Amino acid sequence: MVLRLWSEDFHPLLGYLLLGLWARLMHAFSLEAEVFYRLLPALLGAYSTVVLFRALRTFLPPWRAFLVALVYALVPQGVLQDVEFRQYALAKLAVALALEASLTGRPWAWAGYGALAFHLHYLAGLVALAFLPGLKKPWGRHLLLYALPLLLWAPVLFHQASKLHSIARWVGTPDERLPETLAFLLFSEDPALRVLGVLFWGLALGGLMQSPLRPSLTVLALGVGVLYTLGFSPLTPRYAYLLLPLLGYGLAWAFRTRVYALPLLMLLLGWLWCWPWVEVSAWATFWLFLAP
């Protein structure tokens, strides 16, 4: 399986290996229903909300941290991907843990969770790397801790990148990519959710621009540029999910001032109100029964 993934896929292998182990465990206990396979990512996705809440408690009162964590938990794209039997929920949790380690000043933990995120998904590793400015200087030593576990994987990364340019589906003209990019920015192509998507990104990015992690946006932009240069396509709606811990942090920083309390409440109530009226009414099924 490892050799097949090496030659046919463009993601790190760790996520596939962990999901494969979970599937074998379920099979060993004769738990073959789809619900049991989806249970692992659902639990990990839910736990990332707990991790984010703990991280936000470092600079917010508990009730404010809870409200921001609730908004984070209800992001439409996040709810849908939390129950997919894929590596995204694992990667998002690793990003959230790296954020918590950065905010609590634990460089070894940040480096470990960052390396874990990288081996689950390249963009997740990049988002974890963007938390570097949150650590105390000297940054060089922390960066070395992050980079060491990745060196062994570098040949595989460049091998995968060498094949991307020959595959037409990874490229496209700007007008062809525009709907996909808009969906990435707004979390949904559903018109009922676009305004809420704009509000979420506006609050989150506005908070990040005021926060100590403001330099992380530069790190992230440079990293995305490198991925594009290698041939990867990081701007897809599915990958926006991996940015959620960072965006949750930005949302929390904006919520430090009362001026943003009303927009945050509008965002929370707006997403809840949309449940019965748009296609994501299936959320209830996802959460209660973990079935499509």
Tens digit of pLDDT for each residue in 135-145? 766 656 666 66
Which positions ≥6 away from 88 have C-beta within 8 Å? 41, 81, 121, 238, 241, 242
**271: pLDDT strictly greater than 60:** yes
- Separation between Cα atoms, residue 100 and residue 113, nearest integer Å: 10
CA dihedral 124, 111, 79, 189 (to 10 degrees): -30
> Does a structural domain hold residue 130?
yes
> Does a structural domain hold residue 94?
yes
> Does a structural domain hold residue 192?
yes
> Does a structural domain hold residue 20?
no
> Does a structural domain hold residue 172?
no
Q: Write out the residue range of the structural domain in which residue 206 sits.
A: 34-152+181-289
> Does a structural domain hold residue 185?
yes
Q: Please give the model's pTM, rounded to 2 decimal places.
A: 0.83
pLDDT of residue 292: 34
> Does a structural domain hold residue 6?
no
> Does a structural domain hold residue 21?
no
**104: pLDDT strictly greater than 50:** yes
Please tell me the total number of residues recorded for the chain in this structure.
292
Q: How many domains does the chain have?
A: 1
Of 17-21, 184-188, 243-247, least confident by mean pLDDT is 184-188
Which positions ≥6 away from 75 have C-beta within 8 Å? 187, 200, 244, 271
pLDDT of residue 216: 82
